[in-house]
Amino acid sequence: MRHGPIIGAGALFSLACSWAALVMAPQLQLGALAPAPIPNTSDVHPAVRPGLAAQGAEVYRSLGCSQCHTRQVRQEALLFGARLNDIGSNASTINLSLPASGTTNLVNLDLLIALAKARPDLGIKNVTPPPALAGDTNLAPRLAQFTKDLALLKHADDKSAIVRPASGSTVNDLAVKLPAEILVKAGPDAAERVVKLLTDTGAKAELVIYNLGPDIERGWGARRSVARDFVNDSPVLLGSVRIGPDLASIGTRAPEKFAAPWKFATTNTTDELEHRLLVHLYNPRLLAKDSTCPSASYLFDTNKPSIRPAREPLPSVYPRHNAHALVAYLMTQRADVSLPEAPTPAVAKPAAPAGANAPAKP
């Protein structure tokens, strides 16, 4: 090859390809991403940080906390389940208590069949009314219908080679203590089918979701981090190595989920968490002997300031403005708000995993 311009043009073309794919395309896909409304509130997530927390973001950047801390919760899987909240009632619901007893013992017979369909691993018992009710003319046709349904169920079971255990727990026991988890950690289709089966009988059931993975189990967040969590950040400090724990949700971390676990002593948990973080900033080794988190003691003063904005971490150690700002910033770190592309267990709306933002798998 003797023509420099050809090599140059070829090089620039190759670069243009990777630029178009990895700079232009993400910008087109994510550039217009906006905060999402939080269900049942007038707030949005992520919220615009209050002034102090915004200053704290600058302290976080300036001290290079992201050299050791990521802010990206990972999630291995998103699974679904069905929860029964109330047995509800319909035409086939019967009361097994004596009219005079003043109590009710409702049994939704259709629901029992639906539960049996949902849980082929459990047996199902026939329903026998107490002897005093044996002559009840209202009950008889219902129970007769139920016996027929049981036979149909048995037939269907045989057809699909389902063998129910003869002893042990039965679906009849499931609905005794509510809410009951009918289906746990299943695919979205299976869970939705079960919810529909149950709700069709008049029962109240909901879809539950399970965010799974070591990060979530560690309590580092209720769900994975997604692009939307960062739309208000600039610079976006995601971090690339976890020398310390992930901080994406440090503002909502449960005390027992810290690297050095602790307990709330009072009910003013926000105040306690803030205080804990201040002590951590002043000297992490007061809280975890082996911590290698650097002490930011230079954010503290030994002279008493004229106004004391908050508690001091230790007697006669007074946080400077930047220490407050940094703690305020850490307190705004939360990955517990449910988003359409990353639901959290708190909400039970059917949520199909959005293709565009599915969890990053290896």
Partner 1 sequence: MTTAQLSSQTACTTAPSVAEVEASCRLPVLFLAFSGVKWLAVGAVLALLASIQLYNPTFMEGCPWVTYGRLRPAAVNALTYGFALQAAFGLSLWLIARLGRVTLTNTLGLFIAGMFWNIAVTVGVIGILAGDATGFDLLEFPLYAALPLFASYALVGAWALVTLHRRTERDLYVSLWFVLAALLWFPWILSTAQGLLLGWQVPGVVQAIVAGWFANNLLQIVLTGFALAVLFYFVPKTVKRPLANPGLAQTGFWLLLLIGGWGGLSQLAAVPAWIPAVSGAANVLVLVPVIALLVCLWQTAEGKIAETWKSNATFRFLLVAAILLLGVTLRTAVFGGHFTQFTFFATARTDIVVLGVFGLAALGALHHIVPRLTTGEDEMPSDGLADLAFWASLLGVLAIGIGFTLAGFKQGVVNGSAESKFLESAVTGIASNLKLVTVGYGALALAALAFLANFALALRRCCAACCGGAR
Q: Report the site for ligand HEC in 265-304 (rule: CB under 6 A).
A: 277, 280, 284, 288, 291-294, 296
Nearer to partner 1, 189 or 290 (CB): 290
| Closer residue to partner 1 in complex, CB, 76/149 | 76
299-to-5, 56, 58, 62, 349 alpha-carbon distances in Å: 55, 12, 14, 13, 44
Nearer to ligand HEC, 245 or 359 (CB): 245
352 binds, among ligand HEC, partner 1, none (CB under 5 to 8 A by kind): none
Stretch of residues binding ligand HEC (CB under 6 A), selected from 22-30, 64-72, 137-145, 168-176: 64-72
The verdict on 27 binding partner 1 (CB under 8 A) reads yes
Residue (179 or 235) nearer to partner 1, CB: 235
Residue 329 near residue 49 (C-beta atoms within 8 A)? yes
Contact 208, 83 (CB under 8 A): yes
| Cβ nearer to ligand HEC, comparing 111 with 299 | 299
How many Cβ atoms sit within 10 Å of the Cβ of residue 191? 26
CB of 228 to ligand HEC, least distance (A): 23
Q: Among 93, 211, 225, 332, which residue sits at the site for partner 1 (rule: CB under 8 A)?
A: 225
**DSSP of 148-181:** HHHHHHHHHHHHTT----SSS-BHHHHTTSSSEE
Site map for partner 1, 283-322, x if CB under 8 A? -xx--x-xxxxxxxxx------------------------
How many other C-beta atoms can be found within 10 angstroms of the C-beta atom of residue 143?
20
CA angle centred on 172, ends 168 and 176, rounded to 5°: 105
Output the smallest distance, CB 218 to ligand HEC, in A: 9
Instruction: Tell me how far apart the 2 most distant CA atoms of the chain are, in Å.
Output: 105
Among the residue ranges 18-26, 164-172, 265-273, 307-315, the one whose residues contact partner 1 (CB under 8 A): 18-26
User: Which one of partner 1, ligand HEC, none interacts with residue 166, CB within 5 to 8 A by kind?
Assistant: none
Cα 77 from Cα 123, distance rounded (Å): 30
Quick check: 258 binds ligand HEC (CB under 6 A)? Answer: yes
Q: Which of 223, 213, 216, 204 is nearest to 82 (CA)?
A: 204
105 binds, among partner 1, ligand HEC, none (CB under 5 to 8 A by kind): none
Residue 250 binds to ligand HEC (criterion: CB under 6 A): yes
DSSP state letter for 108: E
Per-residue x/- track, 37-76, partner 1 (CB under 8 A): ------------------------xxxxxxxx-xxxxx--
Length of the chain: 362
Least CB distance to partner 1 at residue 71 (A): 8
Token look-up 């708190």 returns 346
Q: State yes or no: residue 237 binds partner 1 (CB under 8 A).
A: yes
Angle between helices 269-282 and 321-331 (to 10 degrees): 130
Q: Which two tokens stand for residue 17?
A: 């390809």
Query: 100 CB contacts (<8 Å, ≥6 apart)?
Result: none
| DSSP string computed for 333-358 | ----S-BTTB--TT--S--PPPGGG-
Examine residue 357 and tell whether it contacts partner 1 (CB under 8 A). yes
CA atoms within 13 A on the CB side of 180: 18
How many residues contact ligand HEC, by CB under 6 A?
25
Query: Least Å distance between CB 302 and ligand HEC?
Result: 20
Rounded Cα gap, residues 203 and 113, in angstroms? 12
Contact footprint for ligand HEC (CB under 6 A): 63-65, 67-69, 243-245, 250, 253, 258-260, 277, 280, 284, 288, 291-294, 296, 326, 330
